[in-house]
Amino acid sequence: MSINVKQLAAEKAVEYVKDGMRVGLGTGSTAYWAIRKLGERVSEGLQITAVATSQASEDQARELGIPLVAFSDVDSLDLTIDGADELDGALQLIKGGGGALLREKIVAMGSARMIVVADESKAVTTLGKFPLPVEIVPFAWEWTVAALAKLGCKTELRRSGEDLYKTDNGNYIADCRFEAIESAAELALALQRIPGVVEHGLFIGIADLAIIGKKDGTIEIIEGGQDR
Ligand SMILES: O=C(CO)[C@H](O)[C@H](O)COP(=O)(O)O
Instruction: Give residue 75's pLDDT.
Output: 87
Q: Which residues are within 8 A (CB) of 169 and not within 5 positions of it... i.e. 6 or more apart?
A: 102, 103, 135, 198
Is the distance from the beta carbon of residue 133 to the nearest atom of ligand 1 less than 6 Å?
Answer: no
CA distance 106 to 85: 18
| Pairing between β-strand 163-164 and β-strand 209-213 as defined by DSSP bridges | unpaired
Position in ligand 1 atom list of the atom nearest CA 101? 4
**Structural domains of the chain ordered from first start:** 5-121+204-223 (3.40.50.1360), 132-200 (3.30.70.260)
CA 223 and chain centroid, separation? 17
Instruction: Give residue 225's pLDDT.
Output: 64
Query: What does the pLDDT profile of the chain (228 residues) look like in tens digits?
Result: 688 999 999 999 999 999 999 999 999 999 999 999 999 999 999 999 999 999 999 999 999 999 999 999 998 999 999 999 999 999 999 999 999 999 999 999 999 999 999 999 999 999 999 999 999 999 999 999 999 999 999 999 999 999 999 999 999 999 999 999 999 999 999 999 999 999 999 999 999 999 999 999 999 999 986 665
CA distance 180 to 160: 26
Instruction: Give residue 228's pLDDT.
Output: 57
Sheet holding 86-87, edge to edge: 86-87, 93-94, 202-203
Is the distance from the beta carbon of residue 82 to the nearest atom of ligand 1 less than 6 Å?
Answer: yes
Q: Distance, CA 200 to ligand 1 centroid (Å)?
A: 14
Q: Distance, CA 125 to ligand 1 centroid (Å)?
A: 19
The answer to whether residue 186 is catalytic is no
CA distance 31 to 58: 12
- 53 in Cβ contact with 100 (< 8 Å): yes
Q: In this structure, which residue's CA is closest to atom 12 in ligand 1?
A: 30
Is the distance from the beta carbon of residue 158 to the nearest atom of ligand 1 less than 6 Å?
Answer: no
Three-class DSSP labels, the chain = CCCCHHHHHHHHHHCCCCCCCEEEECCCCCHHHHHHHHHHHHHCCCCCEEEECCHHHHHHHHHHCCCECCHHHCCCEEEEEECCCEECCCCCEECCCCCCHHHHHHHHHCEEEEEEEEEHHHECCCCCCCCEEEEECCCCHHHHHHHHHCCCCEEEECEECCEECCCCCCCEEEEEECCCCCCHHHHHHHHHCCCCEEEECEECCCCCEEEEECCCCCEEEEECCCCC
Position in ligand 1 atom list of the atom nearest CA 118? 12
Is the distance from the beta carbon of residue 104 to the nearest atom of ligand 1 less than 6 Å?
Answer: yes
Cβ neighbour number for residue 86 with a 10 Å cutoff: 22
| Pairing between β-strand 93-94 and β-strand 154-157 as defined by DSSP bridges | unpaired
Considering the entire predicted model, what is its pTM?
A: 0.96
Q: Distance, CA 118 to ligand 1 centroid (Å)?
A: 9
The response to whether 20 counts as a known ligand-binding position is no
Sheet holding 172-177, edge to edge: 154-157, 172-177, 132-136, 197-200
* Distance in Å from the first CA to the final CA of the chain: 41
Is the distance from the beta carbon of residue 98 to the nearest atom of ligand 1 less than 6 Å?
Answer: yes
The response to whether 98 counts as a known ligand-binding position is yes
> Residues 104, 186, 220, 223: which is the catalytic one?
104
Q: In this structure, which residue's CA is closest to atom 9 in ligand 1?
A: 84
